[in-house]
Amino acid sequence: MFKILYLAFSAGALGLVLFNGPSGSLLTGSPDKGKVSLAKAKPATPGTTTASGMRPGGSSLAMWAFVAGASGGYQGGK
Amino acid sequence: MAAQAPPAPAKVFREPAQTESVQCPCCGGPITLTGFGGIEQVACPYCGSELSPEDSGALSVMKQLQRQQRTSALQLHTRGTLDGIECEVLGIVWRECNVDGATYPWQEFLLYNPYRGYRWLVYSMSDHHWSLGATLLGAPRVDGGSMQRAVEFKKTSYRHFQTVNAVVSYVEGEFPWQLHVGDNAIAHEYIAPPVAISIEESHMPDGSADVNFTSMCHIEGSDVWKAFGCEGSPPELSGVGSVRPNPYKARGKFVWAAFGALMAALIAVSVIYIGGRTNKVIYDKSGVEGIGVVSQEITIGEGDSDTTLEVEFSAIALSNQWAFVDIMLINIGAEEAMGFGLTAEEWHGNTGGESWREGKSKQSVTLGGVKSGKYLLQITPSTGGPKTPVKLKPGQKAPPPLKLKYNLRIKENIVLSRYIFIAFFVIITFPLINVMLGFFFEGKRWRNSDYSST
């Protein structure tokens, strides 16, 4: 049993390096995620984060990312 | 004239040996003699009287005794096949030793095969371990080089395990030597599991000493049960016998061989993994000043595969100040965003006459499972000073407004060494566990020796 477990776990660990290592989806932190919608620029409302950027087409669009407070902002300081 | 009949052929072979059944002259109990001519003493199994076989086949009384018959693990005259040799239990001896006030008894079964001679089967009554002994063909060499007493025989070193005063407490059956209840011998046990050498010194009344060398090897109780056709199962083992093989040592050969192979595989896999990572810098801005929001479109990854990102933020020349960037990566195609923050800070001061400094000027974050595609990178920096404003002394100038200057770099398809470390940890952990278990096993074995610390 010990031998089988050893080989199984080791093979799994090697497989993890080989197959999951490139994407790193299992052993990395996962940031907050959310859907965004593309919209014309509007006045900002509380609780939202506005991202202004140039679309490939050159038109100026505002993105309303509903991931408000995703990073939580800075909480430290002396 | 008729021809004379040929003479009858002379008998070429002697008559086959027959077992004899006689009566004990003391108690009248039936005694079967199967040891043939080599027997010096017979102990009546019923009354324990010590008898001497005569040439006539009768038994003469050497010493009349009256004791109860004991039930041994194997019965007298039980036959079995051990190591391919059929043998019979010819005699049974119970011996015991006293260590620290506790008595440790064991049973010894004299096994006999007319063609292969005598062997001993030893059963420890305290921990139910079995061992098989035979006369050592030679004498071991005393190894005086090591701290612990040891002997060497045929290039195998045997470490001293214990020395006890073994006293005979019970005898029944036939023996090729004189054996009496109360006989004692100094028994030295030297082990190299699963084998051992027992050296017994018996001191004779005339002052001479008799030294016997016996080689011992571990045997499983189940093998004894099978060999002698015993019913049920052998008693459960307790503790670790002196010559019981270390199962972790035996398994260690496989484990270390597998470790070598797995390490080679890990090296190969790591080379493939590291070789496939580009560590490509997809965004690198240095010395960005101010707290204005920065947006830029970037391309992450190639094709449909997910990738890894390393985002490193560092602030320049911070002084009693924090700096923070709120980073948002918006997948334009999928209309999904992920956000995270990175902080840098530097604090210094003087408290109680001692100056201090703390904080880190850089921070990085690693992201995995990031979908390839075009992203809008939005960086929102901010900065600030202490929560509690510094009180200005009279005449002291107010500090200049805080400025922020920072660097931000994003790399994709990076090497995550944690994957390799985890694989290495798994591969090394099992052999280490095996070594530890083997160590504990040996510790339990040596707890019963003369070298026990407890």
Query: Which of A64 and B356 is assigned the larger pLDDT?
Result: B356
Which residues are CB-neighbours of B216 under 8 A, at least 6 positions away? B122, B131, B132, B133, B189, B195, B196, B197, B198, B243
Q: How far apart are CA B346 and CA B262, in angstroms?
A: 45
pLDDT at position B15 is 55
Q: Decide if pLDDT at B386 tops 70.
A: yes
Q: What is the pLDDT of residues A13-23, one digit of tens each?
A: 999 999 999 99
| Global ipTM | 0.72
The count of CB pairs under 8 A between chains A and B is 191
- Closest residue of chain B to A78, computed from CA coordinates: B386
Q: Which residue of B has its CA nearest to A17?
A: B419
B16: which 2 tokens? Answer: 């086959």
Domain ranges of chain B: 70-244, 280-349+356-387+400-414
Q: What is the DSSP letter of A29?
A: B
Kindly provide the b/e burial profile for residues A20-42, where b requires at least 16 CB atoms within 10 angstroms of the residue's own CB.
bbbbbbebbeebeebebeeeeee
pLDDT at A78: 61
Residue B372: name the closest of B328, B295, B308, B284 by CA. B308
pLDDT digits (tens, 9 = 90+) for B58-87: 788 888 888 899 999 999 999 999 989 999
A20 touches B at CB < 8 Å = yes
User: What average pLDDT does the structure give for chain A?
Assistant: 66
Burial of B199 (C-beta count, 10 Å sphere; 0-12/13-18/19+): buried
Q: What is the mean pLDDT of residues A11-39?
A: 85
- Please say if the pLDDT value at position B299 is more than 90: yes
Asked if A57 is an interface residue toward chain B (Cβ–Cβ < 8 A), one would say no
* Partner-chain residue, chosen from B273, B293, B340, that has the shortest CB–CB distance to A18: B273
The pLDDT score that the predictor gives to residue A70 is 45
> For testing the chain B interface, which of A9, A23, A26, A60 should be mutated: the one with the most B CBs within 10 Å?
A23
What value does the mean pLDDT take over residues A62-78?
A: 50
Calculate the average pLDDT of chain B: 88
Contacts of A64 in chain B (CB under 8 A): none
* Residue B419 Cα, gap to closest chain A Cα (Å): 5
- Cβ separation of B326 and A71 shorter than 8 Å? yes
The residue among B151 and A74 whose pLDDT is bigger is: B151
For A63, name the nearest residue in chain B, comparing CA atoms only: B330
B306 touching chain A per CB within 8 A = yes
> Cβ separation of B369 and A9 shorter than 8 Å?
no
Q: B10-19, B73-82, B212-221: which has the minimum mean pLDDT?
A: B10-19
**pLDDT band at B8; cut points 50, 70, 90:** low
pTM value is 0.75
Q: DSSP alpha helices (H): ranges in B215-246?
A: 221-227
Give me B416's structure tokens.
């995550």
Extract the runs of DSSP E, i.e. beta strands, from chain A. 32-39, 49-54, 60-65
Please state the rounded mean pLDDT for residues A42-71.
Answer: 42
The pLDDT score that the predictor gives to residue B390 is: 65
For A39-50, what is each residue's pLDDT tens digit?
Answer: 544 444 444 444
Say which DSSP state B426 is in.
Answer: H
Nearest-CB residue to B258 (from A7, A32, A36): A7
Interface test with A, best of B342, B416, B427 (most A CBs within 10 A): B416
Which 420-449 residues of chain B touch chain A by CB within 8 A? 420, 422-423, 425-427, 430, 434
pLDDT computed for residue A36 by the predictor = 78
CATH code for residues B280-349+356-387+400-414: 2.60.120.1300
